[in-house]
Amino acid sequence: MSAAGDRAARYLDLENAPFTFPGSRILVQRADGALTVRLAEYERPLDECVLVRTLRVYTADGRVAPVTDVLPDRIEFADAGVTLTFDGPSALSLGGGGRWSVELDVPSLADAGLDAGLWRPGLPSAATASWSAVGADDLLVRGDTVRLSFSGSSLRLDIASGASADGASADDGRADVSHVRALAATAQVWNDWFARCPVVRDDLADMTAFCWWVLGANIVTLPGRGGARAVVPSKIGYVGLWQWDAYFIAAGLRHGDPELAREQLDLAFGFPTAAGQLPDVVHDDGVLASSDDLPPGDRDNLRRAGSAIADPTAPIPLTKPPLAAWALRALEGRVDDPAWFERAWATVARSQDWWFRDSDLDGDGMPEYGHPYSSGLDDSPVFDAELPVASPDLAAYLILQDDLLAAHARDRGDRAADAMHRERAEATLAALERMWDDEAGFFRSSGAGHPLAAQTAVSLLPLLTGRLPGRIVGRMLAAIDDPERFATPFAVPTVAARDPDFSPERMWRGPVWINVNALLVEGLAVSGHAERSRALAEATLSLVIDGGGPHEYFNPLTGGKARTATTSFGWSAALFVDLAVRVSA
């Protein structure tokens, strides 16, 4: 492995970081002292996508061979002389030179046809799986357990959508060769990936390598989208391309793989509605662009939480915050394709118009969130009240986006568009300033026109505009420095500590999120506070390093992973890389 690969390997624990491969849906993790093999699919719990419940390797004398090492390209069982690797994105290959055996506990052997070393279990997914055991000396089937013994040969587990499996050949010589070939090919893929890992300051190099691994490991190909490569938020939980996740992920990828960064925006911008609205999620079988597209599981969760929007009377559009221009700007100078940029800017401009035309739900000139998902902050207390929600974060994003669209129009010499975007940004800035509550000292959100009591991190995001009066910025800095508000031991909490809704573990109701911190790092810089910006960047990097990795969100009191947060999370990894590169410059 390359040096960066070795650095990343320190974090590969088969729990927080599954064994997987760029482009693959297959995940190998630890379970019950063994390994388990599952498939990552859009909005399906992993436990419904089990291919192998447990996989155990045994030595020649019948002892369980423990996992002795996990590297990006292979899992080693040194006691048995066996390795597990990928053979392309849809197959695992397990092989070794001496005498060894493997025991597989599979979900259902009932449907499995047993034919010359080939089993095809009925799978709870669209995919089919097959296992070919090449050169097995012995076979034992007991209940749902298969035990295969080998001398010097290999077992291949093929997992492919609709693909039929090859029958096994009993040519053990060939099996060994194919396993060795699979090992070399997998190592090559990871070496090429790590060769792109950005070079950063020494103290940040280990975590940067791991975060770079996360971005490669989270690549999924979308067969329903012409095989496009999506870097998903997490193969353990979010298997699709979420609109604003794609923006943050692209901002990290640009430092080592600008082309892959561009592909993320291509997917994100590729499926606007006729009205210009960008979808919340792009996935294999379609998009999530309205409440009509909600997967049944998601709808059930909303219903259980007592949410009226589980079954709205009319479809509600679902999107993500308007930071598309922010993401596009991040690729400027990295991708050399003016025609592509022109098309992308036009898509962004249409989506910005959509907010003002179709999401200003009370017609006061200031757009609102019609659904919590569209804010990206699904569970934030600002959505405990009635919809629609007018919010300072949305105002800030829209101002920034119109400012960037105006700058782009100026570059093209389009004076009319420049003027239009500038005027609209001014009007939104005026609306934002009306949200300022001078007595309370924060920007208030409101639900269905009523100002809300909750003080959340969205009240800090207006810093992003770089256009606030110094007096207001001063009050915001005081809130950031106040231990009762945003100066928790690990900052910045998504809800102020003294707010009755503050909860250090609950998603968007207290925990620290790396994207919010990264936006505030930028907001402080553009508001004239370079030193504070730098300090927050360093604190955010330390949080990820000391907290054990790029988790989805962190407890602001302990700095550890919040219990329900997922791990190896795309935007946390990407923004770690982005911040690490910035502070290393």
Binding interface with ligand GLC (CB under 6 A): 233, 238, 242, 244-245, 376, 378
The DSSP output letter for 494 is: S
Query: Could you tell me the smallest distance in angstroms from the CB atom of residue 242 to ligand GLC?
Result: 4
The DSSP output letter for 390 is: E
C-beta of 77 vs 244, nearer to ligand GLC: 244
C-beta of 148 vs 261, nearer to ligand GLC: 261
C-beta of 24 vs 572, nearer to ligand GLC: 572
Query: Could you tell me the smallest distance in angstroms from the CB atom of residue 280 to ligand GLC?
Result: 8
Query: Could you tell me the smallest distance in angstroms from the CB atom of residue 427 to ligand GLC?
Result: 27
C-beta of 112 vs 253, nearer to ligand GLC: 253
C-beta of 288 vs 468, nearer to ligand GLC: 288
Output the six-digit token pair for 9: 């390997």
Residue 187 φ/ψ, nearest 5 degrees: -60, -40
C-beta of 121 vs 388, nearer to ligand GLC: 388
C-beta of 332 vs 378, nearer to ligand GLC: 378
C-beta of 178 vs 517, nearer to ligand GLC: 517
DSSP 3-state assignment of 176? helix
Query: Could you tell me the smallest distance in angstroms from the CB atom of residue 508 to ligand GLC?
Result: 6
Query: Could you tell me the smallest distance in angstroms from the CB atom of residue 380 to ligand GLC?
Result: 9
C-beta of 244 vs 345, nearer to ligand GLC: 244
Query: Could you tell me the smallest distance in angstroms from the CB atom of residue 432 to ligand GLC?
Result: 22
> In angstroms, rounded to a whole number, what is the distance separating the alpha carbons of residues 96 and 155?
9
Query: Could you tell me the smallest distance in angstroms from the CB atom of residue 494 to ligand GLC?
Result: 10
Task: Give CB contacts under 8 A, 24+ apart, made by 287-291.
Answer: 288/240, 288/318, 289/317, 289/318, 289/319, 290/315, 290/316, 290/317, 290/318, 291/315, 291/316, 291/318, 291/371
> In angstroms, rounded to a whole number, what is the distance separating the alpha carbons of residues 516 and 214?
20
148: CB partners within 8 A, 6+ apart: 101, 102, 103, 104, 133, 136, 138, 139, 140, 155
C-beta of 73 vs 522, nearer to ligand GLC: 522
Q: Are 117 and 135 in contact (CB under 8 A)?
A: no
555: CB partners within 8 A, 6+ apart: 490, 504, 505, 510, 511, 512, 561, 562
Element housing 137 (H / E): strand 127-142
Output the six-digit token pair for 130: 């097959």
Query: Could you tell me the smallest distance in angstroms from the CB atom of residue 320 to ligand GLC?
Result: 6
Query: Could you tell me the smallest distance in angstroms from the CB atom of residue 283 to ligand GLC?
Result: 12
Closest CA to 207 of 536, 535, 550: 550
Residue 180 φ/ψ, nearest 5 degrees: -65, -40
C-beta of 83 vs 243, nearer to ligand GLC: 243
The residue length of the chain stands at 585
Query: Could you tell me the smallest distance in angstroms from the CB atom of residue 281 to ligand GLC?
Result: 8
Query: Could you tell me the smallest distance in angstroms from the CB atom of residue 306 to ligand GLC?
Result: 18
Q: CA 490, 494, 497 angle in degrees (round to 5)? A: 65
Query: Could you tell me the smallest distance in angstroms from the CB atom of residue 340 to ligand GLC?
Result: 24
What value does the CA radius of gyration of the chain take, rounded to a whole number of Å? Answer: 25
C-beta of 245 vs 266, nearer to ligand GLC: 245
Query: Could you tell me the smallest distance in angstroms from the CB atom of residue 566 to ligand GLC?
Result: 8
Q: Are 461 and 396 in contact (CB under 8 A)?
A: yes
C-beta of 387 vs 477, nearer to ligand GLC: 387
Output the six-digit token pair for 397: 């994003």
Query: Could you tell me the smallest distance in angstroms from the CB atom of residue 506 to ligand GLC?
Result: 12
> In angstroms, rounded to a whole number, what is the distance separating the alpha carbons of residues 496 and 483?
9
DSSP 3-state assignment of 15? coil
Q: Please, where are the H alpha helices in 288-447?
A: 296-304, 324-331, 338-358, 392-411, 415-434
Query: Could you tell me the smallest distance in angstroms from the CB atom of residue 564 to ligand GLC?
Result: 11
According to DSSP, the β-strands at 389-390 and 446-447 are: antiparallel
Q: Are 514 and 490 in contact (CB under 8 A)?
A: no
> In angstroms, rounded to a whole number, what is the distance separating the alpha carbons of residues 245 and 514?
11
DSSP 3-state assignment of 500? coil
323-359 core/surface letters (b: 16 or more CB in 10 A; e: else): bbbbbbbbbeeebeeeeebeebbebbbbbbbbbbeeb
C-beta of 92 vs 382, nearer to ligand GLC: 382
C-beta of 225 vs 283, nearer to ligand GLC: 283
Q: How many CB atoms lie within 10 A of CB 300?
A: 12
> In angstroms, rounded to a whole number, what is the distance separating the alpha carbons of residues 293 and 290?
6
